[in-house]
């Protein structure tokens, strides 16, 4: 049993002893400056001291505490503020020992463009003909947004539904402003044709208002309003208009029937169920908006095992249950910890609905903090009844299914990793830390050449670590030169850092070479896959010899006879004979998976770059002095960006508002 005074510096222990007895957030860092853990406390002094007053032996939590080299603390006014700050820092810093929910994508919304008259009337602002649109990103006060939705599919399904019933336009403003006759959507009765005046602005405004009411869940009011308008047309003997409204009512009734969702008082509800098994966890989030169940989405947190051990091994401020537990309660379950982590991290950015239906009891202060963040009252329901209970059961079932699928997939991925390691006769210290980086080159006839690097580690593709490299200064189509360039750029600095470390004197001798900037935390992979045969492997060999890196890391994936899938062979840079793994080999499946991902990543990057070069819209926008009006004049004069690119300086200068010097600048930018 080693005393804490021998593990940690006197300065760190003095800082712990000097902490105030106030609420706040603390952060632990290792010697390399990497953040280990972020936590909150009602009483910073008691909470942080509890880490250093107890010996944790050789446990994983003890291993983490032994790494602590320094700490930072922030005092706040309340526990709610501490909770919000804690989870903001968790999302930003991604500590190794916190439960982390990674969500790379923002939620999609259904957007209705345009604004209403300021006097609150049913009419629209002058010149405003709102349209339906799928939207993802920051919101704008000029428009109305409904959602969030769990998937893009749910948004598009809702748009199709609104088109059928309310016939709102979905075309872009540029298309709308240049129509001389109605489009196909009008012909199939999915749009009322406001572009050519086939619907009066006042009637279109009614349709917009009804669509918004429907999205808010006010379905009965919408039906009543449509019925009232239908009766008015019938009394005026306007039977065609009355029949049109009757058909809309029938369509809306069919939609409501097809939804098979019981009409309840709930308008906006999130349903959250959690499942923990085998060291993994799944949180299933189902969304109800406007009384309609829109579907669900599964989330899988990282570091569940480490974080749960940490929470249960360290007592709270008073030496009793962990923070957030009710008075006299046992330590919170892992399920509760996972659900609380999700709620805190998820609703920092996503708006919280008025009601949360939860499969686990969570702390009252957490719900209060979320309500404070959302600036509205949020109610948590832990024992739902009737329709809410059915929603929760459905979410729980989906969480079970998704977690079982994840465990099955991870089991097969681990088997594939083990098969590849065995096939190559490697012996990594930790199979989960076995890292593979794969490179691919993509271009079209030498145009827009890009190299991709994808990373496989911890039995999964690590898309956060993917990189693309623009290849320049080579002969178009020279894949070997492209491969040389990307490998030099990828591993050049790492090789310098490794050389500097090898030349550094032993600890305590002083001096030593500094590692190149930008290499902190970087390491060589255990395997470098190159998509190609002997030629690409020979080029990679030259680069590694030049950099002084081991040749045994390089493996080429060579196409088999007839370039058929399953006949690939592995080519080695260190002189070993080719290896054919076999069509049904688990190792070959992993190699093919990584190689195909590198190819996909390179292709998408190349196409995006090529589109930018050929279409050039973003290039025009980036040219100083070319604003929207001048850009529109150029495109109108030359019929598109290709015409602009083909025009001479004299032709460009002939456009109204384009001076000679600006024409020369445009020409240079497009060539």
Which homologous superfamily is 616-670 in? 5' to 3' exonuclease, C-terminal subdomain (1.10.150.20)
Dihedrals phi, psi of 446, to nearest 5 degrees: 85, -5
Dihedrals phi, psi of 256, to nearest 5 degrees: -65, -35
Q: Which two tokens stand for residue 435?
A: 């890292």
Is the pLDDT confidence value at 272 over 90?
yes
Burial class (CB in 10 A: 0-12, 13-18, 19+), 457: middle
When pLDDT is cut at 50, 70 and 90, the band that residue 249 belongs to is: confident
- For 419-435, write each residue's pLDDT tens digit: 888 888 888 878 888 99
pLDDT on residue 478: 86
pLDDT on residue 456: 94
Is residue 42 within 8 Å of residue 79, measured between CB atoms? yes
Of 74-78, 109-113, 317-321, give the lowest mean pLDDT range: 317-321
First to last CA, the chain: 71
Equal CATH topology for 269-318+337-404 and 431-502+523-604? yes
pLDDT on residue 28: 92
Q: What is the rounded CA–CA span in Å between residue 344 and residue 85?
A: 10
- For helices 219-235 and 239-259, angle between their N-to-C axes, nearest 10 degrees: 160
Predicted TM-score (pTM) of the model is 0.64
Q: What is the rounded CA–CA span in Å between residue 309 and residue 577?
A: 47
Chain-centre distance of CA 486, in angstroms? 27
Burial class (CB in 10 A: 0-12, 13-18, 19+), 11: exposed
Segment 231-245 mean pLDDT: 77
Is the pLDDT confidence value at 2 over 50?
no
Tell which wins on pLDDT, 1 or 96: 96
pLDDT on residue 253: 66
Is residue 55 within 8 Å of residue 2, measured between CB atoms? yes
Segment 277-295 mean pLDDT: 85
Which homologous superfamily is 4-93 in? GIY-YIG endonuclease (3.40.1440.10)
Under DSSP, the state recorded for 647 is S
Give the CA angle between residues 314, 315, 320 to the nearest 5°.
160
Of 239-248, 313-322, 358-367, 509-518, give the lowest mean pLDDT range: 313-322
Q: How far is CA 293 from CA 183, 337, 388, 496, 616, in A?
A: 32, 27, 11, 56, 42
Q: What is the rounded CA–CA span in Å between residue 246 and residue 226?
A: 8
Look at residues 288, 251, 282 and name the one whose alpha carbon lies nearest to residue 269.
Answer: 288
- The domains of the chain are located at 4-93, 111-259, 269-318+337-404, 431-502+523-604, 616-670
- For 18-39, write each residue's pLDDT tens digit: 899 899 999 999 888 889 899 8
Which residues lie across from 298 on neighbouring strands?
284
pLDDT on residue 309: 56
Q: For residue 102, what are the contacts with CB-CB under 8 A and spacing of at least 6? A: 302, 464
Sign of the CA dihedral with 546 first, then 548, 551, and 556 last:
negative
Q: How many residues are there in the chain?
A: 671
Is residue 219 within 8 Å of residue 267, measured between CB atoms? no
CA atoms within 13 A on the CB side of 310: 22
Is residue 148 reached through a cis peptide bond, with omega within 30 degrees of 0 on the bond before it?
A: yes
When pLDDT is cut at 50, 70 and 90, the band that residue 94 belongs to is: confident
- For 208-237, write each residue's pLDDT tens digit: 888 888 888 777 777 777 777 788 778 878
Q: Which of 210-219, 244-253, 266-275, 614-623 reaches the highest mean pLDDT?
A: 266-275
Q: What is the rounded CA–CA span in Å between residue 44 and residue 54?
A: 16
Q: What is the rounded CA–CA span in Å between residue 300 and residue 338?
A: 10
DSSP, collapsed to helix, strand or coil, labels residue 470 as strand
Q: Which two tokens stand for residue 432?
A: 């989960």
CATH number of 269-318+337-404: 3.30.420
Look at residues 58, 518, 611 and name the one whose alpha carbon lies nearest to residue 313.
Answer: 58
Alpha helices for 8-69 (secondary structure H): 10-17, 44-52, 60-66
Q: What is the rounded CA–CA span in Å between residue 666 and residue 669?
A: 5
- For 497-534, write each residue's pLDDT tens digit: 877 776 666 555 555 455 555 554 567 899 999 988 88
Is residue 455 within 8 Å of residue 466, measured between CB atoms? yes
Under DSSP, the state recorded for 124 is B
Look at residues 416, 417, 452 and name the one whose alpha carbon lies nearest to residue 437.
Answer: 452
CATH number of 431-502+523-604: 3.30.420.340
Which residues lie across from 528 on neighbouring strands?
437, 554
Q: Which two tokens stand for residue 281?
A: 């966890």
Is residue 543 within 8 Å of residue 487, measured between CB atoms? yes
- For 176-203, write each residue's pLDDT tens digit: 888 888 888 888 888 988 988 888 888 8
Maximum CA extent, the chain: 101
Q: What is the rounded CA–CA span in Å between residue 421 and residue 405?
A: 24
- For 108-156, write each residue's pLDDT tens digit: 888 898 755 444 444 455 457 898 988 887 777 788 888 788 888 888 8
Is the pLDDT confidence value at 49 over 90?
no
């Amino acid at each position: 049993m080693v005393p804490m005074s021998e593990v940690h510096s006197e300065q760190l222990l003095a800082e712990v002893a000097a902490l105030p007895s106030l609420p706040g957030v603390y952060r632990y860092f290792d010697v390399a400056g990497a953040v280990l853990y972020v936590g909150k406390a009602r009483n910073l002094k008691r909470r942080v001291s509890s880490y250093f007053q107890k010996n944790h032996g050789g446990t994983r939590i003890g291993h983490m505490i032994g790494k602590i080299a320094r700490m930072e603390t922030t005092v706040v006014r309340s526990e709610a503020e501490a909770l919000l700050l804690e989870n903001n820092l968790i999302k930003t810093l991604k500590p190794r020992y916190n439960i982390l929910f990674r969500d790379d994508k923002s939620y999609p919304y259904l957007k209705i463009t345009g604004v209403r008259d300021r006097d609150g009337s049913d009419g629209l602002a002058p010149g405003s003909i709102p349209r339906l649109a799928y939207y993802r990103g920051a919101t704008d006060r000029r428009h109305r947004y409904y959602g969030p939705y769990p998937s893009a599919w749910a948004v598009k399904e809702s748009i199709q539904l609104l088109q059928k019933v309310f016939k709102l336009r979905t075309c872009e403003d540029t298309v709308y402003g240049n129509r001389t006759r109605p489009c196909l959507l009008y012909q199939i009765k999915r749009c009322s044709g406001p572009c050519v005046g086939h619907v009066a602005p006042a009637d279109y405004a009614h349709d917009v208002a009804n669509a918004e009411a429907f999205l808010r869940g006010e379905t009965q009011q919408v039906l009543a309003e449509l019925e009232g308008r239908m009766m008015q047309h019938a009394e005026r003997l306007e039977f065609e208009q009355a029949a049109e409204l009757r058909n809309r009512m029938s369509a809306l009734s069919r939609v409501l029937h097809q939804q098979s969702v019981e009409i309840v008082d709930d308008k906006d509800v999130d349903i959250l169920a959690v499942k923990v098994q085998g060291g993994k966890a799944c949180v299933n989030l189902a969304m109800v908006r406007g009384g309609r169940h829109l579907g669900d989405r599964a989330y899988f947190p990282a570091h569940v095992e480490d974080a749960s051990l940490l929470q249960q091994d360290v007592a709270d401020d008073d030496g009793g249950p962990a923070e957030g537990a009710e008075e006299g309660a046992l330590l919170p379950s892992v399920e509760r910890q996972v659900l609380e982590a999700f709620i805190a991290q998820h609703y920092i950015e996503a708006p919280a609905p008025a009601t949360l239906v939860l499969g686990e009891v969570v702390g009252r202060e957490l719900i209060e903090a979320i309500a404070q963040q959302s600036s509205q009252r949020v109610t948590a329901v832990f024992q739902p009844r009737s329709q809410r209970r059915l929603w929760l059961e459905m979410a729980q079932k989906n969480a079970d299914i998704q977690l079982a699928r994840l465990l099955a997939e991870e089991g097969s991925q681990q088997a594939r990793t083990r098969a590849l390691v065995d096939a190559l006769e490697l012996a990594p210290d930790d199979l989960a830390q076995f890292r593979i980086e794969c490179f691919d080159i993509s271009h079209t006839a030498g145009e827009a050449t890009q190299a991709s690097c994808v990373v496989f580690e911890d039995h999964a593709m690590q898309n956060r670590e993917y990189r693309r490299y623009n290849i320049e200064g080579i002969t178009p189509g020279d894949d070997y030169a492209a491969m040389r360039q990307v490998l030099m750029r990828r591993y050049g600095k790492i090789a310098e850092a490794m050389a500097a470390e090898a030349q550094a004197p032993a600890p305590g001798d002083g001096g030593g070479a500094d590692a190149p900037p930008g290499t902190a935390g970087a390491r060589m992979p255990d395997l470098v896959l190159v998509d190609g045969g002997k030629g690409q492997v020979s080029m990679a060999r030259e680069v590694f010899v030049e950099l002084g890196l081991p040749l045994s890391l390089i493996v080429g994936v060579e196409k088999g006879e007839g370039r058929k899938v399953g006949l690939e062979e592995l080519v080695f840079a260190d002189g070993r004979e080719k290896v054919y793994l076999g069509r049904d080999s688990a190792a070959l499946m992993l190699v093919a998976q990584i190689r195909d991902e590198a190819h996909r990543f390179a292709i998408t990057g190349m196409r995006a770059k090529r589109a930018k070069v050929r279409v050039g819209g973003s290039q025009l926008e980036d040219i100083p002095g070319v604003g929207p009006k001048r850009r529109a004049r150029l495109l109108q004069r030359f019929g598109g960006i290709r015409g602009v690119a083909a025009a001479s300086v004299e032709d460009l200068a002939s456009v109204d508002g384009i001076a000679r010097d600006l024409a020369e600048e445009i020409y240079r930018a497009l060539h």
